[in-house]
Amino acid sequence: MEDGNEENKDDVDELEDEVDGNDDVAHDHREGHAGMVASATDALFSSFVFGTTSWLLVQMFGCFTIWKCLLGGVLVSKKLMMVDWSQLPYDIIRLIAIRLNAVEDFLSFSFVCHSWRSFYLTKSWTPGPQIPWLMLSDNENSDIRSFFSLYKNKVYELELPEARGRRCWGSPHGWIVIIGSDLEIRLLNPFSRACINLPPQSTFDGQFDFHSAWYQFIDKAIIIKKSNESHTIEEEFLVMVIYGPYQDLAFSRPGYTSWVNVEVSSYFRFLDVVLFNDQIFALCYVGDLVVIEIDAPGPPTVLYIAPPPHQLAWEKLYLVESSGDLLMVYRYEYVTLSGYPSLTQFEVYKFDLSMREWTKLEDLGNMALFVGDNYSMSVSSSNIFNCECNKIYFITDTVEQWWSYNESFIGRDVGMYCMVDGTVEPFFFGADYPSYYSCPIWVMPSLS
């Protein structure tokens, strides 16, 4: 045993410079677990490297050529052998888990074996910065839903029967709003499959005969989350919905029995909603900015804040909270004779709360925006692989328009808009079968 330990010690010295950042972990681990080297552990760790199962871990970690799992000074050797990963001690599993940053890697981690999944379910780890996934159109003949990860440049297929045959709207909180032909409305986390009921469509004011076109009743659904440690997940969520032929605004929460209408004049046709500085801001028909007050005594009220920066025609307007700033994003489309958008352009304006005016931005810095049929999102791309700064990631947010496209992406309005030179670079995520009630949406991955 002493000779074996000497050999392992030599291996440690050899690999000191080969694996970045492991020295501190190894030192702490030796100090904290000096007395934990039992004969069973010696047998497990005295000699193993990457066989088929360890290859999976290399994929999860990214680019480890060989990695050190130290338990009281015992090193992973270079001899090939298969390992029963379910027998790894808890502390080693934890060390592996805390090296992971992306939700994609946590999901892979959870499928290794039962003991790893048990640790995964404890949520005893903190994900790093994430970028949105693109949830692709629904295939009503399957319970499988496809998601495109920009981070991995890969399509994941998740079993998600809860979303089958339903239109969805994404959010930055890991949850989506779903509605189906049964007119039931729910919150769904597509990554954990947790589901929360909301009041059905029948509880909206001013019902219309939308049953034959159920997917058109709600124009946009926005999930607002106010974090409060004393609240449950259900109590944190507020859902705002733009609905009906006059683009009315209503809201509800889990536990409510009906949707509460925001009563305003017909002038206020709503376009988008966002939470900014703990207030609910909304854009109205011509781009006017208003604040929605729903927590004060009495019925909800609308406070006019500012006019739009200009009156030029536009295709879409979005409100985005970006690193402490409130942005308005104009989207323009120039259409060819064929009827397909040939050119998409954007303008971004920043709102000055003290002056109550908009200023045009020429640059987003290290931020990237994600817009579409979802809550518009902003992420810092500084330390996120495969996310380009100063870009607007966009996708068609009109179900009818997406339905008119074909699988080869001809005419599909999807891509990355560069704020520097105004060019659009397409990105491809594989075949997406057009659906008459469903188009791709951005959703930030979250397992909670």
User: Is there a single domain that holds both residue 89 and residue 178?
Assistant: no
User: Is there a single domain that holds both residue 194 and residue 108?
Assistant: no
State residue 168's pLDDT score: 94
Q: Which residues of 303-332 are buried (b: 16+ CB within 10 A; e: fewer)?
A: eebbebbeeeebebbbbbbbeeebbbbbbe
In the predicted structure, residue 339 carries a pLDDT above the cut 80: no
Q: Domain end: 66, 93, 121, which one?
A: 121
Structural domain count of the chain: 2
Query: Which CATH number belongs to the domain containing residue 428 in this structure?
Result: 2.120.10
Q: Is 448 within a domain? A: no
- The mean pLDDT value for 427-444 works out to 78
Mean confidence (pLDDT) of the chain: 77
pTM above 0.85, yes or no: no
The residue type of 25 is: V
Lowest mean pLDDT among 89-103, 250-264, 354-368, 409-423: 409-423
User: Is there a single domain that holds both residue 303 and residue 434?
Assistant: yes
Q: Is 168 within a domain? A: yes
Q: Is 178 within a domain? A: yes
Question: Which pLDDT tens digit goes with each residue over 362-402?
Answer: 999 999 999 988 899 999 987 777 788 999 999 876 555 54
- The mean pLDDT value for 41-70 works out to 36
CB atoms within 10 A of CB 205: 13
The whole-angstrom separation of Cα 193 and Cα 145 is 12
User: Is there a single domain that holds both residue 98 and residue 223?
Assistant: no
User: Is there a single domain that holds both residue 146 and residue 243?
Assistant: yes
User: Is there a single domain that holds both residue 148 and residue 98?
Assistant: no
Range of the domain at 335: 133-443
